[in-house]
A = this chain, B = another copy of it.
Amino acid sequence: MNGSEKGKPSLSRRGFLAKAGGFIVAAGAGFGLHAATDAVATMKADDRSAAGNTRNASEPFWGRHQGGILTPPQRHTYIAAFDLVTTKRDDVIKMLRGWSAAAARMAGGQTAEPMGQDLTVAGPDTGEALGLPPARLTLTFGFGAGLFTKDGKDRYNLATHRPDALVDLPRFNGDQLVEAITGGDLSVQACADDPQVAFHAVRQLARVASDVAQMRWAQTGFITSSSPKETPRNLMGFKDGTSNPSVNDPGAMGKFVWVGSEGPDWMRGGSYVVIRRIRIALEHWDHLTVAFQEQIVGRHKYSGAPLGGKNEFDSPNLTATDKDGNSVIPKNAHVRLAVAENNGGARILRRPYSYNDGINFNAERWPRWQGMEYDAGLLFICYQKDPRTGFINIFDKLSQFDMMNQFVKHTGGGLFACPGGMAEGGFIGQRLFEIA
């Protein structure tokens, strides 16, 4: 798939006009209309040794599982949902092949397609990531219900292969989903340690999609911590992700995250992603006492310890009471309702980002308010073996009883089946299209 295999010149983004590993690229000065020559070799970015700068590292694209699920969270994301607008199954296959090939190249720090010398055609890459490192880019693809059936139509002869687990999400208590930013036939989540690398990747895929699929919605997100060992804080100021199952525990991942023999073959090694765009009423949240915030979350704000505990990773003590007999962790605290032992042992792998879309004029029902509000909050993302036992099971209760609900509003997102990974040269969902 790379340029030299096809006998065309090809440049990695890093190699472009730059030294890479001491190797000087000949195309340096004057690459404009005159451009590269066939002598310019394909190169892979090779800057991983740069101490402490994860932007220079890359993540594998090919493999048994898709990247971006167990991958240590990158700092930035750009998530897009696409709607298929073609009636032809072959168009879909061709696009997914193109997406996979481009994704593999970009994960390696290369341009979406090999850079040729003919600048009188639209570029093979829009160029804004030239010179930038791979930044640990991952691209995680998902299939929505609309790939299988849409408006009652079996558009691509796939209807019988819709997995049972790819349900229509129920309407949860308090849902205020906006149709334009909900659902979609396909999802693409780009994650990278550089926001321009993440956006660049999806932008190239949108060009590949061309007349086959069009973007339905897109959302940027970010997450930050001082070190990979520290649990990041969300915009509520609390640590978010403390009680996640460990991605280093294959048993837990097999039990909670990866689809196994209970699923269709093409989903094995895959997972289901639930995305929820959750506005947080920061205007109100920021006026609460810290003590009250802690009652809502069920954890101490600064240490992250469960109420009554000392350290972040202490197990919440759900039976502890104070001297008056009241629960130390309130009955309607977020952590109590979400904990596995109150959900039949169910666990999900959260991989959340924050989002920040500025401010808007808004009116809220509760707490009663009108004025300028932050359009910022949590881009909740979770992976699971089966959403019926995972997110739906857990959130059904949370949406009714969680004290946090009065400060959050779910406005968009979706559920997508993320197929298992691909061997080199394959394409996403290949096993589905080969059996169907």
Contact = CB atoms under 8 A, between A and B. Distances in A.
Contact of A218 (B28, B199, B287, B358): B358
B132 A33 contact: no
A225 B287 CA distance: 38
A60 interface: no
Contacts of A16: 302
Interface stretch (A152-160, A209-217, A381-389, A391-399): A209-217
Interface in A289-317: 289-291, 293-294, 300-303, 305, 307, 310-311
Contact of A199 (B121, B122, B290, B376): B376
A405 interface: no
A142 interface: no
Given A121-B289, A302-B130, A32 B356 contact: no
Given A30-B305, A225-B132, A226-B131, A291 B119 contact: yes
Given A30-B303, A286-B122, A214 B51 contact: no
B131 A78 contact: no
A359 interface: yes
A238 B132 CA distance: 13
Q: In the complex this chain forms, how many copies of it are found?
A: 2
A66 interface: no
Given A122-B286, A123-B290, A301-B127, A218 B359 contact: yes
A310 B226 contact: no
Contacts of A288: 122
Contacts of A14: 226
Interface residues of A, number: 84
Given A51-B51, A52-B50, A282-B203, A356 B220 contact: yes
Contact of A290 (B122, B180, B293, B305): B122
A243 interface: no
Interface string A127-150: 111111100000000000000000
Contact of A29 (B196, B203, B311): B311
A354 B198 CA distance: 13
27 contacts: A16-B302, A18-B226, A28-B303, A31-B300, A32-B301, A33-B300, A51-B52, A119-B290, A119-B301, A122-B288, A123-B293, A126-B237, A126-B282, A127-B233, A127-B290, A127-B301, A128-B235, A130-B302, A131-B225, A196-B224, A199-B235, A199-B376, A203-B286, A214-B372, A217-B358, A357-B357, A357-B358
Interface of A: 14, 16-18, 27-33, 50-53, 78, 80, 119-123, 126-133, 180, 194-197, 199, 203, 207, 214-220, 222, 224-226, 230, 233-238, 282, 285-291, 293-294, 300-303, 305, 307, 310-311, 354, 356-359, 361, 371-372, 374, 376
